[in-house]
Structure formats: C-alpha cells, structure tokens
Structure 1
C-alpha cells in the first residue's frame, strides 16, 4: 500500500495539513494550479488577546489573469520581519515560546525568496523537522499531467505508483471518483474531527489556527495532538 496526498501549498498551515503529510508516503504540493485570493495560500490565523488575527503575505496579483501559485511573487520584502514581530508580540508569554524562538526567528528572517511557493515550502519543510515528519515532499510541476482536474490528480498517483489517494473532505464536491476506481486506486477523504483540545493562551479555543499556535503552547507535546502522525 502506498498512500499519496496532493494539496496546494499553504502558509504556516494548521495541524491537519501536517497530519496529512505524516499519513502520506508521498506528499505532493499542487502548485501549478491557479492562485486564489483570500485563501490559505498566502495567509493563516493566529490567536491574539483581541481574537483571531490573519497573517497575510502580500503578493502581486495581476487582475483576472490566470496566475499559478508557483508564479506568484511577494510584493513587500519586509513581510517576514513584520510577521515575526506580530508573532513575538502575541506568543512571547506562551509556555513554550522560548523553545522555538530562535528557530522561528531564523526561519522568518532568512525567508527572502520572491516566490510564495518557495516561502511556503521553506516553512512546511522546517516545521516537518520539528515534528519529525520524514515524508517525501514533491511538486506537481515535476509531473507531465493531463488537463482535467481529477485526471491530473490520478496521473500523479499513477506516476508515483500509489495505491491509495487521500484528500480533504471538500474535494468530494468536484472529485470524479470513477477514474480512480477504474485505475484500481482507492480514494479516501480525511476526517478532521476528534482532535484533542489543548490549552491556548486566549479563549475561545480554535482548532483551525496555524501550527505555530500549537507549538508555542504545547512544545514537544504537540506530537500528541495529531491523529495520523501517531500511527507511524
């Protein structure tokens, strides 16, 4: 059995994203898809005393032009310093902030790429190291793919010799499951319910915030807060 997960890159994603990486034998960042505004590609949520706050990487968007994620460029070179200052301001008193302060400070201040994809990968890869996730990460641009969406996903699975494809629950709305069944590839949808609650600095509790919230609040116990990471 070889499990394949294919999803678009996100900026400092939530724990479910890393759980999907942990489950996979091969994780493919689907970055030759269209960049979408007001989405997870270039932003995520942290907790603050005043409530949830979006951290957004400013990017260049060329009107209605079909712009791929891996073509999207950063529009403000100081975004990394700004984000790190906001994170320090809101998490400096978290129980485990000191454990990760130097790691994240170096990560942010060295994030100087002009491409969003490269920045997202840099953060995803670094956080996988913290969580001891060793899954191979690939990019969809490495593959020669067909045009229809489900067939593109199937092509990746076939080229990686995958037996099972895993996707988020929202994919049910557009997935052509028949092409996977015809190719004898099992298709599965993640169930993100049932994650344990941990102590956050500010109420009310929210599951769907950036992974940095989990790390700064729980430290090495963060690994206990996953579902699939603990199955390996």
Structure 2
C-alpha cells in the first residue's frame, strides 16, 4: 500500500494532486505547527501575466498552534474578494464557465478550521479530477506525538500498514532510505515529467495553483498531467548522486 503525507495546502499545485493520484492513502498532516507565509492559506495564480497571491486571511493566534487549531477569518468580504481575483485572472479562459462554479462552491465551505477547510478543498478538486484515493487526517491516527520528521512519517506508515512511502522529490534531502528500509518501507520520490506543449509549464518554480492549471486544460489534458510523473526509488537516487 502506497501512502503519502502532506500538510493541507490552499489550492495546491498540480504536483500535489499527482502525489494524491499516485497513492492509495493520502494523509493530511494537520497536527503539526502552522507556518506563516507558507502554502497553508495562500497560493499563486497568474493575473495579466504576473504571478499574484490568492490569500485567505487566518486569524491571529499563538505561533505554537497546530494547523488544525487555526481558523480562517470569517469576514463577509473575503470570499467575494477571492472570487473577484479568480474571475479577473481567468474569465476569458476556455474552462472558466466550468471551473469558476467549483471555486465558488469550495470557497463557500462554512467550516473556518484551516485544516478542515483545506482538506475539503483538496477533496473537492480531487473528485473533479476523478481521483479515488482514500483521505485521512494525521490527527486521527494513533502515534507517538513526540516524534518529528521522518520518524513521525515512519510511525504513521506503520500504523496504516503501508509498504511504500512517496514524497515530492524536492524533499528528498529530508529522508534516509536506510531508516525506511529498516522499518520495512520502500521510500520513493515523485518526480514530475516536463511537458513540452500546452499551457502547463513543469519548470515553474514554484509552480502555480491548481486553479490556473484547471482553467487552461480540459479533462483529457488534466488526466495526462496527473500521469506525467515517475516514482524514483530513493536507493536509485542515492546511487546516482554517488
């Protein structure tokens, strides 16, 4: 069984959904510290040719609080403002009529808990992409909460009965394949395949929100994008690096 674990991001990029599609179980890592100015409450869209932030404000609170202890600001202005940003950026795109109502539905979700809101967002987009992966919250999984980093990941995988753990390749330096092997786990990294045509540009760093990708690609193209990756075994990467 393939497991992946990620913090619940706000309208994450296509690679996040590739990771979900590559997994049997996807775990929202919701019981870790909320990091300000990351990807939890914001992402980037392209407006007038310029990357701009699409941000949902989070209420001020102690920096020590976990993601599932933080709440979005429930101002009546926030959702209309975000929708205006999306409309201004994408009203002339080929899929605006299909995708804008999805954005409106997602942003209208009433639960202000950051983890719950973002998980619902990701589930709704995954459903629109015909991804049937099982979703769980890490806070629902019995584990030793004193563990951090890869030790915490290994513990979660053990509890779920995983045989393989997959992480985005950008985080390869955070993991030791030997530790995973000792725990009976295969460690792999998702490596996007660069596409040479179409709107999607895999080399964008960091890439744009899934909103941008959805607005320019029909269902067939989106399915192609979801499959445009390879799973690189950690031992192969270590051998190549050596």
Structure 2: gaps (5+ residues): 232-242
More displaced 10-residue stretch of structure 1: 89-98 or 221-230: 221-230
8 Å Cα contact 1:199-1:217 kept in structure 2: yes
What RMSD in Å do the two structures reach over aligned CA positions? 2.3
Partner residue of 1:145? 143
Partner residue of 2:179? 179
Partner residue of 1:80? 79
TM-score, normalised on structure 2? 0.85
Structure 2 CA distance, aligned partners of 1:111 and 1:192? 31
The answer to whether structure 1 residue 127 and structure 2 residue 125 are counterparts is yes
By how many angstroms is 1:76 displaced? Answer: 4.1
SS in 2 for 1:191: strand
Structure 1: gaps (5+ residues): none
Partner residue of 2:198? 198
Partner residue of 1:114? 112
Structure 2 CA distance, aligned partners of 1:132 and 1:228? 16
Aligned length: 225
The 1:34–1:124 alpha-carbon spacing in structure 2 relative to 1, beyond 3 Å, is same
Partner residue of 2:161? 161
Counting only pairs closer than 5 Å after superposition, residues 30-45 of structure 1 correspond to structure 2 as 30-45=29-44
Structure 2 CA distance, aligned partners of 1:196 and 1:119? 34
Structure 1 CA distance, aligned partners of 2:54 and 2:210? 13
By how many angstroms is 1:230 displaced? Answer: 11
TM-score, normalised on structure 1? 0.88
By how many angstroms is 1:197 displaced? Answer: 4.3
8 Å Cα contact 1:61-1:67 kept in structure 2: no
By how many angstroms is 1:173 displaced? Answer: 3.1
Structure 1 CA distance, aligned partners of 2:37 and 2:196? 28
